[in-house]
Structure 1
Amino acid sequence: MGLFLQWREPAARALSRVMPGDVLWFADTEEPVFALTFDDGPHPRTTPQLLDVLRRHRARATFFLVGERVAAHPELVGPIVAEGHEVANHLMRDERSVLVPDDQFRRDLAETTRLLTPYGKVRWFRPGSGFYTPRMLRSAADQGLRAVLGTLVAGNTGGPGDEAIAGGLFTSIRPGSIVVLHEGTDKRQGVVATTDELLTALATRGLTAVTVSDLTG
């Protein structure tokens, strides 16, 4: 299946009360907005196409970028910010951050922020694969970063299950939700169509996609 819902809204709220540390899972708001986020970019194919889709829908998003991909494709980062979106820290490599030694984690976090800072203030980070420890959160806080996970998570795989992702997300998104989608590889090309379908459907409910900073601000 292309769709995997990691946390639905009630579960995310419950986890936010019992999981340690200052982690943003959702926002308490009655405004008809949700945060749309993309992990694992930038990518020469998916990132420009996502920007086209977001522009057509007048939507905003936060792109959690991988440092080594930023270094490989710096020309893709400027347009993200120029279109009114936000860039955030997703560490240096597409890997499970919780398995990275503490010293390396701190270096990777700092290096990714260094690569992104020319494009704007970096406020947020998301650990690879969504797992974290209190020590990781402290290291991030020392660097002025707050962790963002999400209320709903989905990943395109290039298989037939991709067609069900937008419909599965549509019924679960609420004001204040944080939605996590994934780009960054050729197999995830379907995220472009998923995003277009999802934003079209959510417009019928009056829900608008915004950045994480706008959602919390």
Structure 2
Amino acid sequence: MGDRSCGSSILRCCVAKPMLRSLQPQTWKLGYRTSQVYWEEFQTREEAEGRYQELWWSKVLMNPEGDVLRCSSGILDPKGVGVAALLLSARRGFGDVESSLPALEKGDVAFIPADRLPGTSQALQLIWDRVASRSSISWFGSRVSVDSLCYFDVAKHPGVRGYVALTIDDAPCRLGPKNSMLPEIRKLLKEHQAKATFMLLGKFVPQHEEGLLELLREGHELGNHGLVDKSYRASSPKEFEDAVEECTRRITDLHRRAGVSSAFPWFRPPHGQLSAVMAKIVEQKALRILMCDTYACCPVIQDGDFIGRFLGKQAEHGSIMLIHMPEHGFREWCLLGLQTLLKHLKERNMKVVTAGKLAELAGWSPELVGRRCKLAL
């Protein structure tokens, strides 16, 4: 591929095999991957974003400072290897990358789920609004494991009346510190006097330790979500066990440094997938599988207002709600979803607490964590 004009821009776009030409330092850069990695550069953000919208391959948009502003895996790239290759390429001076799978498996680069076909989000939104309920969502949780905690039945546990638990998956941030929205989330929760359980991907803890320590000091809670965002069903039992142990170790270290103890060691399997062997390992580690009964499929439904309204109306006394962590350039709509959710719950006089606090209100003690339980306790 050769050079082409960038419309009104004086700068010409470099569309060539990497390493054959150098990119200018103070330009907007758009990378995409077909059979190999390509990079284009632009003088203005408007031109770069316009070109970004044209492409349907896996792609990454970066500002002149090298920050990732947007990224998306193509429909034909379900494993997210394209975006991973582009992120590796950017780190290595915008060169080509033979394989990104090893780095992706280790969590050295972010896994970005593939986009859906156009209209999928809107279609699923219509279906979800009609069929998703406490019973259907918690049924899925029970399929993950018979030991899954999905909600507390207020009829059996009157102490949870007026309370719901908020859990946030894939914390803290997979794209790096500059893309973190942890400060915005902390501020929003503080404004609404809400507490949350953040389910951590352990691989990304080191770059965000100070923010996570502040979360703990502010009364929030941390849970184990594995090391990286992938299904461990295809992994060996040892790899899964090592991932669980390492994430637990990092959480324990954060608690020690923050001077905060954790009464309820929660675990939520990435992608909601757990084999019988994996469930046995979780049980041996004395972890409690934490699922949910209130969920708006926010990775696919990209309408923050719908997400917040749906969660806000579906949540019941004793509910455990799930929303995903927003990042700059990835799932940003979840911030609006959380804003809308907290507003609706406030109007309903529902108090938002951690999963651990909800368990205490239900009359649980930490000793119960290692025991088998029913779907709704």
Q: Same fold (TM over 0.5)?
A: yes
Aligned to 2:337: 194
Counterpart Cα distance in 2 of 1:85 and 1:167: 23
Counterpart Cα distance in 2 of 1:129 and 1:27: 23
Once superposed, what is the RMSD of the aligned Cα atoms? 2.4
CA shift, 1:103, in A, is 0.9
CA shift, 1:98, in A, is 2.4
Q: Does 1:86 align with 2:221?
A: yes
Q: Deviations over 1:167-189 (max 9, x none)?
A: 12222110111111111543222
Q: Does 1:36 align with 2:166?
A: yes
Q: Does 1:103 align with 2:231?
A: no
CA shift, 1:145, in A, is 0.7
Q: Does 1:60 align with 2:195?
A: yes
Counterpart Cα distance in 2 of 1:159 and 1:27: 27
Corresponding residue pairs, total: 217
Q: Residues 36 and 160 (structure 1 numbering): CA distance in 2 closer, same or farther, change over 3 Å?
A: closer
Q: Residues 76 and 22 (structure 1 numbering): CA distance in 2 closer, same or farther, change over 3 Å?
A: same
Q: Does 1:27 align with 2:157?
A: no
Counting only pairs closer than 5 Å after superposition, residues 1-217 of structure 1 correspond to structure 2 as 1=121, 8-12=133-137, 14=139, 20-29=145-154, 30=158, 31-43=161-173, 44=177, 45-120=180-255, 121=262, 123-156=265-298, 161-183=303-325, 185=327, 186-217=329-360
Q: Deviations over 1:77-120 (max 9, x none)?
A: 10110110000100000112323221100000000000110233
Give the TM-score normalised by structure 2.
0.53
1:158–1:187 Cα contact (<8 Å) kept: no
Counterpart Cα distance in 1 of 2:280 and 2:132: 24
1:65–1:89 Cα contact (<8 Å) kept: yes
CA shift, 1:17, in A, is 6.4
Q: Aligned partner of 1:192: which letter? A: L
CA shift, 1:156, in A, is 4.3
2:202–2:228 Cα contact (<8 Å) kept: yes
**Greater Cα radius of gyration, structure 1 or 2:** 2
Q: Deviations over 1:137-191 (max 9, x none)?
A: 2211211211111112235459862331111222211011111111154322222
- Bigger helix share: 1
SS in 2 for 1:187: coil
Q: Aligned partner of 1:212: which letter? A: A
SS in 1 for 2:303: helix
SS in 2 for 1:111: helix
Q: Residues 175 and 68 (structure 1 numbering): CA distance in 2 closer, same or farther, change over 3 Å?
A: same
Counterpart Cα distance in 1 of 2:247 and 2:145: 24
Counterpart Cα distance in 1 of 2:207 and 2:172: 9
Which region of structure 1 is more displaced relative to structure 2, 2-11 or 179-188? 2-11
Q: Aligned partner of 2:169: which letter? A: D
- Quick one: higher RCO (CA 8 Å, sep 6+), 1 or 2? 1
Q: Residues 22 and 187 (structure 1 numbering): CA distance in 2 closer, same or farther, change over 3 Å?
A: same
Which region of structure 1 is more displaced relative to structure 2, 78-87 or 116-125? 116-125
Counterpart Cα distance in 2 of 1:53 and 1:66: 22
Q: Residues 174 and 95 (structure 1 numbering): CA distance in 2 closer, same or farther, change over 3 Å?
A: same
Q: Aligned partner of 1:55: which letter? A: K
Counterpart Cα distance in 1 of 2:232 and 2:319: 24
Give the TM-score normalised by structure 1.
0.89
Counterpart Cα distance in 2 of 1:88 and 1:116: 8
CA shift, 1:71, in A, is 2.4
Q: Which ranges in structure 2 are unaligned for 5 or more consecutive residues?
A: 1-120, 256-261, 361-377
2:167–2:197 Cα contact (<8 Å) kept: yes
CA shift, 1:130, in A, is 0.7
Q: Residues 112 and 7 (structure 1 numbering): CA distance in 2 closer, same or farther, change over 3 Å?
A: farther
